[in-house]
Structure 1
Amino acid sequence: MKKEISFKWAIIPLVVMIVVMAFTIVVLEQGPHIPLIIGTITAALVAWRSGYKWKEIEEAMYKGIRLALPAVIIIILVGLTIGAWIGGGIVATMVYYGLNIITPSLFLVSITLICAIVSLAIGSSWSTMGTIGVAGMGIGLSMGIPAPMIAGAIISGSYFGDKMSPLSDTTNLAAGLTNTDLFVHIKHMLFTTIPGLIIALVVYFVLGRNFGKGDIDSANIDQTISVLKDSFVISPFLLIVPLLVIILVAKKVPAIPALVVGIVLGFLSQILIQGGATADAVAALQSGFVIDTGNEMVDNLFNRGGLDSMMYTVSMTIVAMTFGGILEYTGMLQAIVKQILKLAKTSKSLVASTVVSCFATNATCSEQYISIVIPARMYSKAYRDQGLHSKNLSRALEDGGTLTSVFIPWNTCGVFIFGTLGVHAFDYAPYAVLNFVVPVLSIIYAFTGFTITKLTEAEILTLKKEEDMTLNT
């Protein structure tokens, strides 16, 4: 007979997964796939012991995978985009002009602001990182800036725009699940996100001072520019392609068709502008672009992309979501969150617990959407009982869920960034300043009461009437 899973049993798969993950990554220096599979097996055994039949456990895994399918499609399209844009000379053109325009000492600040503006316009951190971010990595590396710093700045900018854009799916999700007006939700997030961005920009400005013109090898930049001119047809007209994709998404064209347009134009650019063979253009889409310039840095940057390059990311996403699916749909995750909820007896601890729960869900279920959905369902009533406005919950969901997903190597976001920017989560984590400062600010605000909004008497009466109507229907 199926029964509710207690906290002491629900926590076992999580503990097993974390211990095995730590040993595998730190000691064995291997990837996170196998630990997640072991965690999935452990979760299945716990569910079976609690009365779940294998068919139900299997369906829980499938539900988890189905939730990640939109992300899988985007991952595949980004791989195709990188291959097409490198082959078409689009990335080379962006890097070329970037090296000629952006000052090394201000690069980290500049790339953060550029990514913030683009992601704010299109509402997608992934699309921003997969396009502007790839070019930014090339520019920064050519300037001698360490890859983790560049990736951290790109991530901070991309997630600022994603979090604050009314076009963002996570922004709409957090507002919708908590019944908060979208623009009320966005306005409330300004209190944590704007200070977070300012702090990030100050940090990047200080770090950038180490890369002034007098401290870098200008010959390396000159050589990179020369190699790009010799290897690709550089034309400002190629910048129309990324600009068009940004405009399409800003005009509310869905991300998938917008990226497909970019892929087609990149593919045609490789044939018509770069003079490449059709077979080579198809190969760039499948297995990535291949070039041998004799310049190690340029070769490392441009020998990449394609569908095959994203299969590690896709397999990681699927494996992670099987684990998350069992935890979610057998009630184990709810049992863990309920235990946390027992400790959150005041409004101060409630907001802080929400942020921590979102991070924990990112670590256990490996998907930022689940890190918003589950805590939203579990904490909504508690916020009403404490007399807190729903915008406090919606902000906490984004501060703790959307932003912290990048720090988990086996989360779909961490895996995507590794596949796209080529930097591991543990390496860029100290430099993704916005992503860890904002959750900290959110917790500080909770304990000080700053910007924590209480429900008015009229709002409390309205909510009570709505609950009574729901009960009577």
Structure 2
Amino acid sequence: MKKEAAKKEITLFWALLPLVSMIITMIITIVYLKQGPHIPLIIGTSIAAIVAWKQGFKWTEIEEMMYKGIKLALPAIIIIILVGLIIGSWIGGGVVGTMIYYGLKIITPAFFLITITLICIIVSLAIGSSWSTMGTVGVAGMGIGLSMGIPAPIIAGAVISGAYFGDKMSPLSDTTNLASGLTNTDLFVHIKHMFYTTIPGILIALAVYGVIGLNYKDGSIDTASINQTIAALEESFIISPWLLLIPLAVIALVVMKVPAIPALIVGALLGTLSQVFIQGDSLATAFASLQSGYVIETGNAMVDDLFNRGGLDSMMYTVSMTLVAMTFGGILEYSGMLQTLMNQIVKLAKSTGSLVAATIAACFTTNASCSEQYISIVVPARMFASTYRQRGLHSKNLSRALEDGGTLTSVFIPWNTCGVFILATLGVGAFEYAPYAVLNFIVPIISIIYAFTGFTIQKLTKEEMAELDKHDVIESENTVMDM
């Protein structure tokens, strides 16, 4: 079907129509009608289907495009469901309560934002997953910060910055391996090249969180509220440092290269066992926590709000959003509409600076149109690889731009799988936390500045060019022999 789609040229007007229509409808629905993003995505999908049909695609082909889009999101959907189980079981098992309890005892409000960012950095570097980091220590971090009187969007921004630092820089991260693999860049060469943009970005983020934290130093918060929260936790849960072994076990499994899905299943199982054998709840109550979330009534409004959540049911909004978004993205991708949009972006790239800027813009556009972080790396990688090569630019420049523009900006799109996951997990929408996810918006800016100044932009040497040419000749000969 891809070959057939490639033969059907779609003009820029028709390629833009579904995307622009969806975005306009999205703005009206979210900003003015105060409703969710599902219906605008369905409207955008309908318009995209009509455009594809007008271009000569059969309905069976359009259906296949939607199915292929959904298929790309299936791993993410499984993770989303498992995180819902973990949140429910870890709250019921006292794990989240223990993390919040000791966090309130140890962390001072003035340094909380810096501390939670650093904790998320360490965890995400160790396990290579921003989602798993946000779904575990991120959830606890939200509880600690809210108990200290820090607004939820600020806490979420710090958690996201820390989680995505590791997602971008860890050799265990799927996006890191994807960007290096698609561009034929050595993994550790790719990671080393990202240090130039990511380290300044996280330092700026930590500085910003340090300044913001000064507004929440000990003397300016309600210590009575913190004490009431601690008392409610002691009354509602058995608090023990041994419970911290459960999240540590999940982190250890991923560090030992156990895949994320079985590691998360183990985490949910341990949380359930903790709820039954440590907290003393019945098996029926523990299963209810897995299905519909944990339920508690302490009389403390903040604690009740923090702990009445989780479970499989709580993730169905996110799952349905992901499914709808990926049907939209599937039609754009496989009908050739996205290809048309990318071609227009490539045409604007005249200099090295504009080429990198165009790459980052293409990644952001793909995040917005196809609603999936992985596609925002895959499609621009295919589109720009030959251009970087023709201009004598090392592939690590492209791999870095893909992560700076694709991995990091995915969180700013409310209907992207990353945006909906964060809303479901941390309870904060993209438009609210966007100003505080400092790493995620500052790194693309740094990357573009570097490109226009030439700083850290590496050209291919004559030897490297010769080696690539030799490789192309071998690949061409192998292709002929296969035919």
Tell me whether the two structures share a fold, i.e. TM-score over 0.5: yes
Does residue 250 (structure 1) correspond to residue 255 (structure 2)? The answer is yes
Q: Which residue of 2 aligns with 1:261?
A: 266
CA contact (8 A) 1:346 1:386 kept: no
- Residues 383 and 389 of structure 1 are in contact (CA less than 8 Å); yes or no, is this contact kept in structure 2? yes
Q: Distance in 2 between matches of 1:368 and 1:297?
A: 33
The superposition leaves residues 94-147 of structure 1 with CA deviations (integer Å, 9 ceiling, x where unpaired) of: 000000000110000000000000000000000000000000000000000000
Shift of 1:167: 0.1
- In structure 1, what is the equivalent of residue 32 of structure 2? 27
1:432 maps onto 2:437 in alignment: yes
Deviation at 1:4, TM superposition (A): 1.6
Contact 1:77 1:256 in 2 (8 A): yes
2:450 matched to which residue of 1?
445
Matched-pair contact (CA < 8 Å) for 1:372–1:402: yes
SS of the aligned residue for 1:214 comes to helix
- Shift, 1:316, TM fit: 0.3
Aligned position for 2:464: 459
Mapped contact 1:143–1:216 kept (Cα < 8 A): yes
Show the 5 A alignment for 1:346-425: 346-425=351-430
Partner of 1:114: 119
Gaps of 5+ in 2: none
Partner of 2:209: 204
The equivalences for 1:206-245 within 5 A come to: 206-245=211-250
Q: Identity over aligned residues, as a percent? A: 73
**1:165 alignment partner, one of 147, 167, 170:** 170
Is it true that 1:136 corresponds to 2:141 in the alignment? yes
* Alpha-carbon distance, 1:278 to partner: 1.0
- Given that 1:409 and 1:425 are in contact with CA atoms closer than 8 Å, whether structure 2 keeps it comes out as yes
Residue 471 (structure 1) shift = 2.7
Distance 1:15 1:243 in 2: 45
Q: CA deviation at 1:345?
A: 1.7
User: Hey, what's the Cα distance between the residues in 2 that align with 1:231 and 1:69?
Assistant: 37
Deviation at 1:469, TM superposition (A): 2.5
Displaced runs of 4+ in structure 1, greater than 4 A?
none
Deviates more, 1:249-258 or 1:2-11: 2-11
Of the structure 1 ranges 343-352 and 248-257, higher mean CA displacement relative to structure 2 is found in: 343-352
Deviation string for 1:367-394 (max 9, x for gaps)?
A: 0000000000000000001110000000
Structure-2 residue corresponding to 1:83: 88
Specify the alignment match of 2:283 in structure 1.
278
Q: Residue 313 of structure 2: which of 296, 308, 311 is its match? A: 308
SS of corresponding position for 2:291? helix
Greater mean alpha carbon deviation, residues 186-195 or residues 3-12: 3-12
Kept in 1, the 8 Å contact 2:298–2:304? The answer is yes
| Cα separation, 2, equivalents of 1:299 and 1:245 | 26
Q: Displacement of 1:348 after TM fit?
A: 1.5
Matches of 1:9 and 1:418, distance apart in 2: 32
Deviations 1:290-344 (A, max 9, x none): 0000000000000000000000000000000000000001111011000111111
In the superposition, the TM-score normalised over structure 2's length comes to 0.97
Between the aligned partners of 2:166 and 2:8, the Cα distance in structure 1 is 43
Q: Give, in whole Å, the separation in 2 of the partners of 1:121 and 1:4.
A: 45
Kindly provide the amino acid, as one letter, of the partner of residue 460 in structure 1: M
The residue identity in structure 2 corresponding to 1:216 is: I
Answer whether contact 2:414 2:430 (CA < 8 A) is retained: yes
The CA deviation at 1:9 is: 1.2
CA distance in 2, matches of 1:211, 1:280: 38
Aligned equivalents of 1:466 and 1:231: distance in 2? 65
| Pairwise CA RMSD | 0.8
Aligned to 2:473: 468
Match of residue 295 from structure 2: 290
Partner residue, 1:62: 67
The offset of 1:228, in angstroms, is 0.2
Contact 2:8 2:336 in 1 (8 A): no
Residue identity matched to 2:281: G
C-alpha distance after superposition, 1:351-376 (max 9, x if no partner): 11001110111011100000000000
Alpha-carbon distance in structure 2 between the residues aligned to 1:269 and 1:38: 45
- Kindly provide the CA deviation profile for residues 238-273 of structure 1, in whole angstroms up to 9, marking residues without a partner as x: 000000000110110001111111101100111100
Can you give the 5+ residue segments of structure 1 that lack an aligned partner in the other structure?
none
2:106 maps to which of 101, 107, 131: 101
Cα distance in 2, alignment partners of residues 95 and 159 from structure 1: 22
Q: Secondary structure at the match of 2:192?
A: helix
The Cα offsets for residues 396-450 of structure 1, whole Å up to 9 and x where unpaired, read as 0000000000000000000000000000110000000000000000111111111
Q: Contact 1:122–1:167 at 8 Å: present in 2 too?
A: yes
CA distance in 2, matches of 1:31, 1:103: 36
- Under a length normalisation based on structure 1, what TM-score does the superposition of the two structures give? 0.99
Partner secondary structure for residue 344 of structure 1? coil
> How many matched pairs?
473
Kept in 1, the 8 Å contact 2:377–2:402? The answer is yes
Aligned to 2:58: 53
For 1:72, the equivalent position in structure 2 comes to: 77
Q: CA deviation at 1:3?
A: 2.0
CA drift of 1:39 comes to 0.5
Q: Is the 8 A contact 1:114 1:157 kept in 2?
A: yes
